[in-house]
Structure 1
Amino acid sequence: MPERLNIDGPLWDQSTFVGRFKHFLWVTDPRTCIVSEEELDKAKILVEQYRKHKEPPGTTVEQVIYAKKLYESAFHPDSGEKQNVFGRMSFQVPGGMAITGAMLQWYRTPFAVVFWQWVNQSFNALVNYTNRNAKSPTTTTQLLVAYVSATGSAMATALGCKYYWTKRASPFVQRYVPFAAVAAANCVNIPLMRQNELLYGIDCSDENGNIVAQSRFAAAKGITQVIISRITMCAPGMLILPVIMERLEKYRWMQRISVLHGPLQVLAVGCFLSFMVPTACGLFPQRCSIKATTLEWLEPEEYEKLKKKCGNNIPPLLYFNKGL
């Protein structure tokens, strides 16, 4: 009898960067965004049936793998709920390329800076909320405060850099205003959208998946890694593309097609993101870990709860979902 697929485990080794890159290249495939709701629901049903060894007779491994791909791309790993299509990581390439390309093209006026930063942070807020640790609920008020704070920080950073660099920097350096604003906003947006994790901690489990503790330090570690990943995701496109455009715009043929500069930058950003989305997501393991002894000196009250729950069998490592 052929060996069954581990439906809840990754297809590639997640202890290596290459394995994580392959996994996220597979699961963030933008083509999954146009799959119908009906097909997504059928994929979820097949995954659940396969998990219980009750899949329809004649189901092939290829069908199960494709259902697993659709399920992991569209449903939250904690709650199992279907995610908003615009907030899925698989929408990062089409959504990110359009917005980032626009920010890089239209940065010369204060209105353009403010408008595109607002659009970008609205998109980021949706992505951050969609990919949060779903076991840490956030109130509507907290979401609103996070959204306004992150959007305001992005606009303030962008306008501040714009006015400062306009007087002191060359037009080429001014092209980096969008990246400075995006990097600053990520440092505000993500922690605020996931503030409940920092306030109350997130579930930590042993190697068998049994929840044994809650940790604020684990939340801080996961959120920090997500911030680094998000900045890394957009960095190559927003740092390298201005250099390319600065060189190209000196040629007459490029000056004659100025109306196409925006679409060209959108396509170029898409090329960068196609590679950088799985790269950034794969920088750190999705199933992150901390040493149990860390709780002893950082969160002693949680360590006491852990000792009461596990007795003399305290696991050396505690695992948690860091989010995306």
Structure 2
Amino acid sequence: MDPNLLYWKSQGQSLFSRLKIWVNLLDPISLLSSDAEIQNAHSLLRSRHPPNEKDGQALTLSLSSVHADSGKVLPLIFRSAAFLPISAPLVVASFLPHSSVKPALFWQFLLQSYSAGFNHANRNSSSEKSKKTSLKQLLLTVGTVSYTTCAGALPQICIHQLGVRSVPILTFFRSILPIPLSAALAFFNVVNIRSEESVTGIKVFDLNGNPVGISKAAGDKAVWETALSRAVLFGTTAAVPNLLILLLQRTRLFQRNPMLAAPVRHISVALVLGVMIPVSFSLFPQLGTISKEEVERPLRAAVGSEQFYYHRGL
């Protein structure tokens, strides 16, 4: 088992411990480290287990920058520490009340493309034999990005095509509809991009960290847990600022100064996203467990363990 997974096994089984770890891993300073430094840190953790207090920097670099299945350094923009700096302006821009459809499609395309790339880079690749992306996966990614882009811009498309001028209807399309829509599209993005894990299965481990075999049930659970956590992330990021603005608009201050709504919306979106990223990443263990009854019959007979471990991905 990879040293990253061994660390999650020993330190990341409670929600509070995972939250503390993720707050540390999301520090963007780690993005300044070179690939050689990251590989050296990962190799250091391989050479000794458990790590001691002096290995804190090595742990941070390895956990935030190395894929736990392949052992390779993740692309810079798809590391966990880069998620907030890159996604924050895209999320803020995609939630803006655009005056036309084109800017709404543009920002949704950027956001959904980055989300798809992040989901694919941080998937579970333990059962993949080929290192190259298949044509099927490429077409699925293009289709997912295209669909989620159009669906994400649906409120603006409806406003433009229907010529909506009514304030209550505009409020529905701009403040209410984006909440379930953002959560649903984030869920859909993960499920589609990582659908291969449910089809081919992922590697599972026994209690000692030894690989046991490939399980489709574990792959399906890993995908659904990650999709649910991403839906919580984007759904909450859409809900809190929109509901906050609706409440503030009833106050005298905002009625006298309606221009305050825009900066408050932008700042609140960025703040909620920043808070929710470590929370959503911590909702489920990185090294998840699945009971013996849930896995395939051949795996139950192979090992006497009552539960198996699997890498959930991110």
Pairwise CA distance, 1:170? 2.6
Matches within 5 A, 1:64-79: 64-79=55-70
Matches within 5 A, 1:177-256: 177-246=177-246, 247=248, 250-253=254-257, 255=259
Asked if 2 retains the 8 angstrom alpha-carbon contact of 1:146 and 1:189, the reply is no
Distance, in Å, in 1 between the alignment partners of 2:9 and 2:29 is 19
Unaligned runs of 5+ in 2: none
Q: Does 1:158 align with 2:152?
A: yes
User: If the length of structure 1 is used for normalisation, what is the TM-score?
Assistant: 0.80
* Two-structure CA RMSD over aligned residues (Å): 3.0
Pairwise CA distance, 1:305? 5.4
Distance, in Å, in 1 between the alignment partners of 2:194 and 2:257 is 48
Q: Does 1:321 align with 2:311?
A: yes
Q: Deviations over 1:137-162 (max 9, x none)?
A: 37331332222222222133234444
Q: Deviations over 1:162-202 (max 9, x none)?
A: 44466485322222454444333333322222222111111
Distance, in Å, in 2 between the alignment partners of 1:210 and 1:118 is 41
Instruction: Give the 3-state SS of the residue equivalent to 2:148 in structure 1.
Output: helix
Letter in 1 for 2:80: M
User: If the length of structure 2 is used for normalisation, what is the TM-score?
Assistant: 0.83
Q: Does 1:170 align with 2:153?
A: no
Deviating more after overlay: 100-109 vs 314-323: 100-109
Distance, in Å, in 2 between the alignment partners of 1:129 and 1:6 is 19
Pairwise CA distance, 1:17? 1.5
Distance, in Å, in 1 between the alignment partners of 2:97 and 2:218 is 39
Hey, what does 1:31 align to over in structure 2? 29
Q: Does 1:148 align with 2:148?
A: no
Instruction: Give the 3-state SS of the residue equivalent to 2:7 in structure 1.
Output: coil
Aligned-pair identity (%): 22
Hey, what does 1:139 align to over in structure 2? 133
Letter in 1 for 2:71: G
Matches within 5 A, 1:264-279: 265-279=265-279
Letter in 2 for 1:142: K
Give the counterpart of 2:16 among 15, 18, 35. 18
Instruction: Give the 3-state SS of the residue equivalent to 1:170 in structure 2.
Output: helix
Unaligned runs of 5+ in 1: 54-60, 296-301
Pairwise CA distance, 1:12? 7.5
Give the counterpart of 2:83 among 76, 92, 95. 92
